[in-house]
Amino acid sequence: MTDFVSSRGEFAGWRGQTDRRRTFIEDLLVCAKRYTNKAFGGAVVLSDFDSVNRRYQLEEHAGQPYPLCAHYCVRLVRAWQAKNSIKNVEFVFEQGDEPRGKLIELCRADGIEPRFLSKKEVAFQAADLVAWRTRNSFEKVLSPGLTRDTALGAYRSFKEVWKSPHAAFYGNLSRIEKFCQDREIPLRTSAVTIAGG
């Protein structure tokens, strides 16, 4: 998505071609929806993560926001798996640049051995597209000065991306605090300054 958004690499000649870019994204979304059985996704509000991390030893126990969000997605899949008596589910994540240790720890605590593959895998590219489009929708809805038209546009964009059935997690302050309480993550003994927070 990075090359597409910035019109670099194989998309260098696409700069300023709004209709072509929009049609391309719409076609990709139709393809992703057609070949997706069930979608799971999540988001963590970074300012809420930082706020909870100032009170609890969250980062020491769950790592950065990505492992926490990925873990919540795993739990959504596990709930669906149990409800539908699905036996074999493999949990595969993009290798990415972030250390995987905390995600592995969180998954293993739930009896899961995650696998990690290259971001070049087609399934990750489709997931990246869906995540990019979803993030854009969330940013519009959460921005100051939200208008009815902006909210409706974000809703339509969200519907284009997320096929039914789906399950999603929104990691806000109360949910991240509950995670800390459920996992019995200790409170900090003194205030912590978070970089950028």
pLDDT digits (tens, 9 = 90+) for 45-62: 899 999 999 999 999 999
117 belongs to a structural domain: yes
At residue 169, the pLDDT reads 76
CA distances from 74 to 33, 71, 122, 169 (A): 20, 5, 20, 10
Q: In the chain, how many domains are there?
A: 2
Please give the model's pTM, rounded to 2 decimal places. 0.76
Rounded Cα distance, 183 and 125, in Å: 33
Bridge pairing between strands 166-171 and 115-117: unpaired
pLDDT at 188 over 90: yes
Whether 194 is covered by a domain: the verdict is no
Indicate if 57 and 11 belong to the same structural domain: no
State whether 75 and 155 are in the same domain.
yes
Residue 17 lies in domain = 1-35
* Residue 6 shares a structural domain with residue 60: no
d(CA 58, CA 84): 32
pLDDT in tens, 62-88: 999 999 999 989 999 999 999 999 988
Which tokens sit at 135? 């993030």
Q: Is residue 61 located within the same domain as residue 102? A: yes
16 and 63 within one domain: no
pLDDT for 193 equals 58
Specify if 84 maps to a domain.
yes
**Same domain, yes or no, for 65 and 90?**
yes
In-domain check, residue 190: no
Torsion of the alpha carbons at 17, 9, 100 and 98, rounded to the nearest 10: -80
